[in-house]
Structure 1
Amino acid sequence: MDLYEKIRTLPTKPGCYLYKNAEGVVIYVGKAKNLRSRVRSYFLEANQRQNPKTGSLMREAVDVEYIVVDNEREALALENNLIKQRKPRFNILLRDDKTYPYIKLTLHDRHPKVFVTRKLRKDGSAYFGPFFPGNLAYRLVDLIHRSFLIPSCKVDLNRYHPRACLQYYIKRCLGPCVQDLVTNEAYRETIRDVQLFLEGRTEELEKKLSQRMAQAAEDMQFELAARLRDQIVTVHQMQDKQRMASADNEDADVFGFHYENQMLAVNLFHMRGGKMVDRRDFFWEDLPEFLNTSLNDELESEQEEVCHPERSEGPASPPLEEASISTLEPSPDHSAPQIEQENIDARAPIQRAALTDMGTELGEAFSPAVFFSALLKQLYLDQSYVPRSILVPVDFPDRAVLADLLSERTKHRIELAAPQRGDKRSLVDLVCQNAKQSYDQRFRVLQPNQKAIQQALQDALMLGELPTRIECFDISHIQGAETVASMVVWENGEMKKADYRKFQIKTVSGNDDFASMREVIQRRYKRLLDDKKPFPSLVLIDGGLGQLHAAYMALEEIGVTLQPLASIAKKEEIIYVHGQEDEPVVLDRRSPVLHLVQKIRDESHRFAVTYHRKRRQIRDRESELDAIPGVGARTRQRLIQHFGSVRGIKQAAEQNPDALTAVVTKATAAKIQSHFQSEPALPILQ
């Protein structure tokens, strides 16, 4: 069916429409109160001629599909879901989908655990949060582990293990991983205490703890009574620090932006209890093509079509009504002639002045109203917690509908406003000023200070504390020969060369990077345990998931299960954090955090390669083979290249002498065999 003919069959009901290109790929998703009228408006020649965004879309579109819904609210929610699923090129896409952390209590497990997560799933667990700032969640979880003795390791608690780890013996865990160390009833009672603590029901929890403390003291269980006393103190200390989803009316999210040179920076300030508790940055360097139009063009197009509707060519369209100055909402009686067009009246000087003050002139090729309409849908429609007040710098057509939909989903009224004056407007302007600073720092290549990078690294890798020392490991060899490892140290902003270490691989033969990494990690941190020295803030592995898991196995064998551990994969530059392998960290190529991790990784690689080359030079200069008559430098080199090492040559001579004849003559092979059988081996240089 021809596209024009298909449009005539479209219903006049609310819904979403999907434009597709010749390959069948969805390139734009939009919503409408009247599908036929809205889709038909894209084909008006006047719209395509005067608005480059519409013309660019329609030159590529060859088909359109639609989905009918009951009302505009459902269309709004469906549009958001389709954009996130299909990722159309002509829609604004929120690439930074990171959320603030929650605390997860796995109630469905036999022995529930508590840990931090950023994803909410319908898995029967209880989620608490979000927490502002992000490190508050980690501090609370650490406090729960220390005070309530809930396990903090990643050991599988759905089965029993033969022995407990170090955390149990230093009285930091109840030990549910070993049978009979704690009863199921006692563990479940502790979990109920943790749940009351996280739900903020501190009075009820304090009453229960006080009763159990008195009972323990009466039964002369003084150690248990002391632990319950400490838990009561903890509840008092954390009562004022905890920020939970049941926030008061003073909670607000405030947006600001700065647009320049076709690049955009957006700042989001989180206000909780009247105080700013955290901020979030968003950046766009490649805004979709349909935004490359000026507001002046849109206004002129609107006014021309209103005043001269007979000039429009193509299928007939209902006349546009004048936009409301107070609400800027689209009229329900007409279709929009552009994609998600914001109907800004020419007589609204307040809106024009606001846009100019924020660094976005009306003549520039950027539409803030279109942008914030798309951004807020993607940010809030899928969130379990939405603050009661959301302040944006510009008004947009879907504002009232989106506010109603969010109010319906959260069961409380959501104020979504674009203030024009007063204290709220001053707050929005302040956020816009910060957005300008973020723009300069990102796009003008201003290097952030070291503490800012550390904080960003902590947030990106979900570390429990600010990283002050990072130890990075790499393996180097050529086809398993002369395998060595390196460890470099980054500490407080600079590489600490005095703490660099070199390792010769002693227990692994051949090409096995995983086993080599396991040996090095175990040797390094067993030494730290024996010497009772502090561990680094982060152990970084040069490699992918295989090297990461090998490193964790080495730590687990020596009883270390809480050490932050990550790896950076070559080529893709993806960072894997142990315990979150399904959610790898993908940083922007311009990110100072990624540059720091790459710098440490590259230094580790350089140090390993340098040591490996040195070992090869020593091997080439001095070898046990030099003592064998008839084996010169060239023969020795061929043997090493073929068998990988002197050890490999010795094994071949002892187990399969015929293998030597692949490289040397039978006479020389006999001499090599005789040497290893009759003379004690000299120390082998690794």
Structure 2
Amino acid sequence: MDLYQKIRTIPTQPGCYLYKNAEGEVIYVGKAKNLRARVRSYFLDASQANAKTGSLMREAVDVEYITVANEHEALALENNLIKQKKPRFNILLRDDKTYPYIKLTLSDRYPKVFVTRRLRKDGSAYFGPYFPGNLAYRLVDLIHRTFLIPSCKVDLSRYHPRACLQYYIKRCLGPCVEGLTTPEAYRQTVRDVQLFLEGKPNELEQSLTTRMEEAAETQQFELAARLRDQLVTLHQMQDKQRIATTDNEDADVFGYHYENEMLAVNLFHMRGGKIVDRRDFFWEDLPEFLSETLNENPDEANPNLEPNPKVSAPEIDEDAPAALDIVQHTAVSELGGTFNPAEFFSALLKQLYLDQSYVPRSVLVPVEFPDRVILAELLTERTGRRVEILAPQRGEKRSLVDLVCQNAKQSYDQRFRVLQPSIKAIQEALQDALTLEELPRRIECFDISHIQGAETVASMVVWEDGAMKKSDYRKFQVKTVTGVDDFASMREIIQRRYKRLLDDNKPFPSLILIDGGLGQLHAAYAALEEIGVTLQPLASIAKKEEIIYVYGQENEPVVLDRRSPVLHLVQKIRDESHRFAVTYHRKRREMRDRDSELLAIPGVGPRTRQRLLEHFGSIRGIKQASPDALTAVVSTATAESIRAHFDTESKATALPVLND
């Protein structure tokens, strides 16, 4: 049965579907309310234009499915299948760090207490996870000293001839030797430990107090003293908890930073209103998680990478071509993809929380994602208390998410940028990559900024001996070019800059870097050639492709690995030149607005002009304002003058130009 025929047999129930390749490997697992509609939607042209879906459908030759009762079960099954099969087209949790739990082996004859990082269905009670990680070890140590429950590897299913050192230093009740303790007393102590770990101090305090008084009455003073010490420890723990818990809110807060197909995610754990620990996650080489939203209407764009099940797929005819032939026309490699945080956080939260025994009351994420409500409901059912997954847009919670995103950016820099070779090693690598004659000690980078040719400006930033040298930054107004002409603008600026260096007999930089492609590169060289400079090293970096063109070897552009420190250096310099150019351009526009044509209108002076600009925001806003809107700021006569001025101007620009 081929793929088309199999799709007809898929039921309309909720469940999970598994796409397989020619080798029988599961390459993608998904869930759906309606399995048939979801699977058929993968054959839509718009779905296959998506970079990920197109790649998936070129490899898929078979599909299997598992039906379940509802969407909650589908969500849980999807998570289990992804962890089992590890499909290439699913986002996988690649962090091997797990937080510790405290394990109480209730199924044993004499239960022990351990720190563990694995949850098993072995009849034991698990408590946690604990943040930070050493908290679990400190609590187990406290249990040893206070409740005398052991964590040794001694086989307690039988008695031994003598006890170990832990018994003699008062760290164990000695269940390994017959007669040192009784099963009833040991079970009572285990119950106390359970109450302690379950966070039921009142019930534990009442039990300890009653037994301490009974022991004192029967003159069992050693037992009474031990119970008294346990009460003191319990009171100390309660006091510390009251001090730390002002807000009494448990929350996990996520943030991320994505760049160059590499991703850093930070997770902050808040317990009792305080940040107690953090986790770092990193993903490299994420091309299969890129998505392309081809829908021009953003309100209709599906934030999930999967096809939209609400859009009906075409009926499948008997004579339809093979599945692989459908997508041959889709040039996925030519589509520009962007990281889809919605799908990523949907997959990440499922893998993090669905198998956990403890989930905090609130989970804060930086973006909305499709499964958020369903996942929160499922976690609420599993934990027995309400769990909220929120994507805050404003307020304190949004500020907290932004803080975690800032930390994710720092983690990204640490992982992919800061931990890099020395400056000299980078300089040598740059010299080798661009075939420079000497070590690049000084780089000057140029960028042009304008809005449709208006207020065209340029910037020059300087990198020298491993750092940006802001004292040498320069900004330029383009004087001889009108309209949109980046090449002519670059030519003017380069010529002005280096003609002055020649006239002042100052040294040239090791490398001139241009923000742009081959056109800007050739324009810069033409400017240098006009002033007689022909041996100056010159290169440009194209924004989209991140390809470096070196003048003289344009047919062999330099394509560096996206994790290369050399590429990161060039990008850093390029981004700084762009930032500096845009900042200067904005200042020029503000100056232009201050000296606007409003002053030429009768009845409009500096103060009136200022009020109009503050009220309408710009000259364009004033031009589009009706007379009634203008009278809210100025008098009726002045409003009529302003309206007449702009009406005359618009009529003049609308007149046809007659050629002789």
Q: Please indicate, yes or no, whether the TM-score normalized by the shorter chain is above 0.5.
A: yes
Task: Could you tell me which runs of 5 or more consecutive residues in structure 2 were left unpaired when the two chains were aligned.
Answer: 315-334, 421-562, 564-660
Q: After TM superposition, give the deviation of residue 116 of structure 1 in Å.
A: 1.4
- Going from structure 1 to structure 2, the CA distance change for 1:330 and 1:416 (only over 3 Å counts) comes to farther
What code does the residue aligned with 2:108 have?
D
Q: Determine if the alignment matches structure 1 residue 290 to structure 2 residue 288.
A: yes
What code does the residue aligned with 1:16 have?
C
Q: Superposition pairs for residues 555-570 of structure 1, below 5 Å?
A: none
- Going from structure 1 to structure 2, the CA distance change for 1:336 and 1:145 (only over 3 Å counts) comes to farther
What code does the residue aligned with 2:195 have?
L
* Contact 2:47–2:307 (CA under 8 A) maintained in structure 1: no
Rounded Cα–Cα distance in structure 2 between residues aligned with 1:247 and 1:126? 29
* Contact 1:257–1:436 (CA under 8 A) maintained in structure 2: yes
Instruction: Name the structure 2 match of 1:161.
Output: 160
Rounded Cα–Cα distance in structure 2 between residues aligned with 1:324 and 1:76? 19
Rounded Cα–Cα distance in structure 2 between residues aligned with 1:271 and 1:265? 20
Q: Superposition pairs for residues 142-541 of structure 1, below 5 Å?
A: 142-241=141-240, 250-287=249-286, 289-294=287-292, 297-300=293-296, 322=300, 333-334=310-311, 365-446=338-419
Q: After TM superposition, give the deviation of residue 161 of structure 1 in Å.
A: 1.5
* Contact 2:43–2:313 (CA under 8 A) maintained in structure 1: no
Q: Which stretch has the larger CA shift, 102-111 or 209-218? A: 209-218
Which whole-Å deviations, capped at 9, do the CAs of 1:62-81 have from their partners, x for residues lacking one?
A: 11111222332222222111
Q: After TM superposition, give the deviation of residue 27 of structure 1 in Å.
A: 0.3
What code does the residue aligned with 1:141 have?
V
- Going from structure 1 to structure 2, the CA distance change for 1:229 and 1:199 (only over 3 Å counts) comes to same
Instruction: Name the structure 2 match of 1:468.
Output: none
Q: After TM superposition, give the deviation of residue 329 of structure 1 in Å.
A: 13
What code does the residue aligned with 1:403 have?
A
* Contact 1:98–1:118 (CA under 8 A) maintained in structure 2: no
* Contact 2:46–2:294 (CA under 8 A) maintained in structure 1: no
- Going from structure 1 to structure 2, the CA distance change for 1:101 and 1:282 (only over 3 Å counts) comes to same
Which whole-Å deviations, capped at 9, do the CAs of 1:161-217 have from their partners, x for residues lacking one?
A: 122111112222211111112222222222222222222222332233233333434
What code does the residue aligned with 1:371 have?
F
Rounded Cα–Cα distance in structure 2 between residues aligned with 1:255 and 1:372? 9
* Contact 2:29–2:82 (CA under 8 A) maintained in structure 1: yes
Rounded Cα–Cα distance in structure 2 between residues aligned with 1:247 and 1:414? 20
What code does the residue aligned with 1:163 have?
R
Rounded Cα–Cα distance in structure 1 between residues aligned with 2:372 and 2:305? 9
- Going from structure 1 to structure 2, the CA distance change for 1:216 and 1:406 (only over 3 Å counts) comes to closer
* Contact 1:249–1:388 (CA under 8 A) maintained in structure 2: no
Rounded Cα–Cα distance in structure 2 between residues aligned with 1:138 and 1:437? 30
- Going from structure 1 to structure 2, the CA distance change for 1:299 and 1:224 (only over 3 Å counts) comes to same
Rounded Cα–Cα distance in structure 2 between residues aligned with 1:65 and 1:248? 48
* Contact 1:395–1:418 (CA under 8 A) maintained in structure 2: yes
What code does the residue aligned with 2:392 have?
P
Q: After TM superposition, give the deviation of residue 142 of structure 1 in Å.
A: 0.2
- Going from structure 1 to structure 2, the CA distance change for 1:249 and 1:175 (only over 3 Å counts) comes to closer
Decide which structure has the larger Cα Rg and report it: 2
Rounded Cα–Cα distance in structure 2 between residues aligned with 1:23 and 1:221? 73
User: Helix, strand or coil for the counterpart of 2:339?
Assistant: coil
Which whole-Å deviations, capped at 9, do the CAs of 1:609-660 have from their partners, x for residues lacking one?
A: xxxxxxxxxxxxxxxxxxxxxxxxxxxxxxxxxxxxxxxxxxxxxxxxxxxx
User: Helix, strand or coil for the counterpart of 2:275?
Assistant: strand
Q: After TM superposition, give the deviation of residue 292 of structure 1 in Å.
A: 2.6
- Going from structure 1 to structure 2, the CA distance change for 1:222 and 1:426 (only over 3 Å counts) comes to same
Q: Superposition pairs for residues 625-640 of structure 1, below 5 Å?
A: none
Instruction: Name the structure 2 match of 1:36.
Output: 36
- Going from structure 1 to structure 2, the CA distance change for 1:25 and 1:7 (only over 3 Å counts) comes to same
Rounded Cα–Cα distance in structure 1 between residues aligned with 2:64 and 2:171? 59
Q: Superposition pairs for residues 609-648 of structure 1, below 5 Å?
A: none
Instruction: Name the structure 1 match of 2:596.
Output: none
User: Helix, strand or coil for the counterpart of 1:67?
Assistant: strand
- Going from structure 1 to structure 2, the CA distance change for 1:5 and 1:189 (only over 3 Å counts) comes to closer
Which whole-Å deviations, capped at 9, do the CAs of 1:308-349 have from their partners, x for residues lacking one?
A: xxxxxxxxxxxxx94699x99998743699xxxxxxxxxxxx
- Going from structure 1 to structure 2, the CA distance change for 1:336 and 1:439 (only over 3 Å counts) comes to farther
- Going from structure 1 to structure 2, the CA distance change for 1:47 and 1:206 (only over 3 Å counts) comes to closer
Q: After TM superposition, give the deviation of residue 18 of structure 1 in Å.
A: 0.8
Instruction: Name the structure 2 match of 1:91.
Output: 90
TM-score with structure 2 length normalisation? 0.56
Rounded Cα–Cα distance in structure 2 between residues aligned with 1:3 and 1:427? 48
Q: Percent identity?
A: 81
- Going from structure 1 to structure 2, the CA distance change for 1:213 and 1:367 (only over 3 Å counts) comes to same
Q: Which stretch has the larger CA shift, 181-190 or 328-337? A: 328-337
Instruction: Name the structure 1 match of 2:429.
Output: none
What code does the residue aligned with 2:70 have?
N
- Going from structure 1 to structure 2, the CA distance change for 1:203 and 1:11 (only over 3 Å counts) comes to closer
* Contact 2:42–2:307 (CA under 8 A) maintained in structure 1: no
- Going from structure 1 to structure 2, the CA distance change for 1:220 and 1:285 (only over 3 Å counts) comes to same
Rounded Cα–Cα distance in structure 1 between residues aligned with 2:14 and 2:40? 14
Which whole-Å deviations, capped at 9, do the CAs of 1:583-610 have from their partners, x for residues lacking one?
A: xxxxxxx9xxxxxxxxxxxxxxxxxxxx
Instruction: Name the structure 2 match of 1:52.
Output: 51
Instruction: Name the structure 1 match of 2:24.
Output: 24
* Contact 2:28–2:87 (CA under 8 A) maintained in structure 1: yes
Instruction: Name the structure 1 match of 2:131.
Output: 132
- Going from structure 1 to structure 2, the CA distance change for 1:60 and 1:439 (only over 3 Å counts) comes to same
Rounded Cα–Cα distance in structure 2 between residues aligned with 1:426 and 1:439? 20
Rounded Cα–Cα distance in structure 2 between residues aligned with 1:328 and 1:285? 19
User: Helix, strand or coil for the counterpart of 1:402?
Assistant: helix
Rounded Cα–Cα distance in structure 2 between residues aligned with 1:420 and 1:363? 28
What code does the residue aligned with 1:292 have?
L
Instruction: Give the superposed CA RMSD.
Output: 3.1
Q: Determine if the alignment matches structure 1 residue 10 to structure 2 residue 16.
A: no
What code does the residue aligned with 1:114 have?
V
Task: Could you tell me which runs of 5 or more consecutive residues in structure 1 were left unpaired when the two chains were aligned.
Answer: 304-320, 338-361, 448-589, 591-686
What code does the residue aligned with 2:12 have?
T
Q: After TM superposition, give the deviation of residue 445 of structure 1 in Å.
A: 4.9
Q: After TM superposition, give the deviation of residue 435 of structure 1 in Å.
A: 0.7
User: Helix, strand or coil for the counterpart of 1:194?
Assistant: helix
Say how many residue pairs are matched.
399
Rounded Cα–Cα distance in structure 2 between residues aligned with 1:145 and 1:374? 40
* Contact 1:251–1:387 (CA under 8 A) maintained in structure 2: yes
Q: After TM superposition, give the deviation of residue 147 of structure 1 in Å.
A: 1.2
Q: Which stretch has the larger CA shift, 29-38 or 391-400? A: 29-38
User: Helix, strand or coil for the counterpart of 1:444?
Assistant: helix
User: Helix, strand or coil for the counterpart of 1:173?
Assistant: coil
Extract structure 1 runs of 4+ deviating beyond 4 A.
Answer: 240-243, 246-249, 327-332
Which whole-Å deviations, capped at 9, do the CAs of 1:492-533 have from their partners, x for residues lacking one?
A: xxxxxxxxxxxxxxxxxxxxxxxxxxxxxxxxxxxxxxxxxx
- Going from structure 1 to structure 2, the CA distance change for 1:83 and 1:247 (only over 3 Å counts) comes to farther
